[in-house]
Amino acid sequence: MLYHVRMDVRLPPDLDPAARADLLAREKAYSQQLQRTGKWPHLWRIAGEYANFSVLDVDSHDELHELLSNLPLFPYMDIHVTPLAKHPSKVD
């Protein structure tokens, strides 16, 4: 199942710099692991924003929820999910 996901990050401005660096390192490691497994095949930065558009490929709504809620930045994100369906005009 494919999902289009927009993630907007809103880190507190007073977050301790060491805690911020650790959080971002854990986020990068986790997201790159998911990319390598094929669960997160597309990731694009939105220019001028601390946000991204992603396409995730998972087996269920529950798997998507688990994957997203395990993101280290999850508590600091606004996330919008759109389920995707194959377009009838798409050439395979």
Contact between 27 and 72 under an 8 Å Cβ cutoff? The reply is yes
What is the per-residue pLDDT across 67-89, written as a single tens digit (0 to 9) for each?
Answer: 999 999 999 999 999 999 999 99
What are the pLDDT digits (tens) for 2-34? 999 999 999 999 999 999 999 999 999 999 999
What is d(CA 1, CA 59) in angstroms, rounded to the nearest whole number?
A: 6
Q: Which CATH architecture has domain 2-84?
A: 2-Layer Sandwich (3.30)
Q: How many CB atoms lie within 10 A of CB 79?
A: 15
pTM: 0.91
